[in-house]
Structure 1
């Protein structure tokens, strides 16, 4: 079974990363905020392995901001 919130969090983090690197135009602050919100939302229904990945995503977002 796919965890849709986890998949969305990955997409938001990718978008924030691309915005930070200039590959995508847009407001970096908004992209990071949206990604952090998506990561936070995904935690509740995630497996332990997914949570470990979400923590890495959160750390990556913290470095971007």
Structure 2
């Protein structure tokens, strides 16, 4: 079974990135905050490989 929190974090980061680039409508600040919360939740319950990807997602969010 796939890690649901990890998937939610990945989707939240993708959405925040889309809002920041203008390809999706929404509040960028709110999207970034939701992505950060999702990343935080996912870190507690994931594998080492997922953690490495979450760190990459975190770097993406920090640049927005």
Q: TM-score range by the shorter chain?
A: over 0.9
Q: What TM-score, normalized by structure 2, do the two folds share?
A: 0.97
How many aligned positions are there?
A: 64
SS of match in other structure, 2:38: helix
Aligned to 1:42: 42
CA RMSD of aligned residues (A): 0.5
Gaps of at least 5 residues in structure 2 are none
Gaps of at least 5 residues in structure 1 are none
Aligned to 1:54: 54
Superposed displacement of residue 19, structure 1: 0.2
